[in-house]
Amino acid sequence: MRKDGYPCRYFVAGEYGSEKGRAHWHLIIFWQDRVPEHELNRRFLQKHWTHGWSHWELPSYASIRYVMKYISKDIGVAERQGHVSLSKKPPLGAEYFDRLAGDYVAQGLAPQDLYYWFPEAVDRRTGKPRLFYLSKGSASADLFVSAYLRRFAEAGGCYLSTPWSDLIEDYRNRHTPENVDLRFEGFRGKVPVPHKPPPGGSAPTFSERHNCYFSDTAYGRQWYFRNHEGDLIWHTKIGANESVDSNLSRLADPSRRYREQSRGA
């Protein structure tokens, strides 16, 4: 259908019939532009599918739930033989989470968790919207956070000055461009606490993942720990390659600069 000019995105599950064991497919199709000629609620031969009958119907909560059962952990032996595939570039729901990120930016807020909901999806028992959740570190979760950072920058904000959110900091820590080597001896034992940030840097913040304090500056993220000489300074990189720090890190410690100048004299 795509080759014939009907752009769409999809979620598909293949299974075997319970009576005769014949293979068939269930598809949820998200049309992006136009829909090919079809008939609803009856079997017919759709020209784009030449392997048997087609049956089309409008999506419902029950039909979507039926197809989604194949991604559940509590499925039976028969369902485990099924096949599941879906659009991934970008993941399904990307446009929605991009709009949601824009809503956060418009309100001057930062997302604090990965829960989301829809006004029309109401829990019958409580009368409140059903809560859904993106798995932390998943492609969709990272897509949501990156969309927020992009939207924030487009609105005129600085990438490093977003409202505080552990969710955003976790994303930055996992996508930091620094050379990270957690085996470096500087991360063992008591963690040094900086008394002040580097010049022009944000307030020092502790990263549990790296067991180290960091500060965001206009030149990138800097990390506070001892170098091989035992001096506590701000480094532009973490790990064994900390010796290639920029001059900015050295200037962050006036006493070190003085000692180096004295040695030169």
Question: What pLDDT was estimated at residue 73?
Answer: 56
pLDDT higher than 60, residue 183:
no
Task: Look over the chain and give the mean of its residue pLDDT values, rounded to a whole number.
Answer: 78
Question: What pLDDT was estimated at residue 181?
Answer: 46
pLDDT higher than 80, residue 103:
yes
In 3-state terms, what secondary structure has residue 216? strand
The per-residue b/e assignment along 230-258, b for 16 or more CB within 10 angstroms, e otherwise, is: eebbbbbbbbeebeebeebbbebbeebee
pLDDT higher than 80, residue 255:
no
Looking at the chain, the whole-number percentage of residues with pLDDT higher than 70 is 78
Question: What pLDDT was estimated at residue 226?
Answer: 77
Question: What pLDDT was estimated at residue 177?
Answer: 54
Q: How far is CA 91 from CA 11, 28, 141, 144, in A?
A: 11, 14, 10, 11
Lowest-confidence pick of 15-19, 102-106, 126-130, 254-258: 254-258
pTM of the shown model: 0.58
